[in-house]
Amino acid sequence: MGIPQPAFYIFKCEQSNPPGMPKPSCVNPQTQDLFQHLAQTLMQKGIIGTVQPIRTSCMNRCNVGPIMLVEPGHVMYAQLDKEKISRIIDEHIIGGNVVEEYVIESELWDDAISPEDMMKQMGR
Ligand code: FES
């Protein structure tokens, strides 16, 4: 048997903007330990081997940050804090049920455009 692939990847935006920058970012002094909370909780539950947390840069949903994306499923969670992350791990990652009340509003996370269709739109 080979090395198993992860069951989930959790992409946590770790972008922080310099102080004084008008644009919001997912990491500021109040939210800077969320990735650590995510990774520690996965470790404590003994599932970090099959749930891979990944630090990413901006995913262009800064106004509703802190955000994180769960794959597979393309599930984007917004306005996170430690309690919400813990609940997402218990109910979505372990329990298999998306925590709908924390999912980003669909207007900000509409269906993807396939690369092929995008090329057609651009006339290429
Ligand atoms: S800074 Fe996190 S989505 Fe932009």
Domains of the chain, by residue range, sit at: 8-121
User: pLDDT digit string (tens) for 79-93?
Assistant: 999 999 999 999 999
pLDDT of residue 18: 78
| Length of the chain as a residue count | 124
Residue 90 is classified by DSSP as I
**Predicted confidence band at 98 (pLDDT cuts at 50, 70, 90)?**
very high
Average pLDDT of the chain to the nearest whole number: 95
User: pLDDT digit string (tens) for 19-51?
Assistant: 777 788 999 989 999 999 999 999 999 999 999
8-121 under CATH 3.40.50.1820, yes or no? no
What is the Å distance from ligand 1's center to 86 Cα?
A: 20
Residue 51 is classified by DSSP as E
Percent of the chain predicted with pLDDT > 90: 89
Query: Which ranges in 47-121 belong to alpha helices (H)?
Result: 82-88, 115-121
Instruction: Scan for tokens 């939210």, then name that residue.
Output: 31
Q: Structure tokens of 95?
A: 């329990």
CA torsion sign for 79, 106, 18, 40 is positive
- Residue 13 near ligand 1, beta carbon < 6 Å: yes
What is the Å distance from ligand 1's center to 29 Cα?
A: 15
HSE value, Cβ hemisphere, 13 Å, CA-based, for 2: 3
Amino acid at 78: A
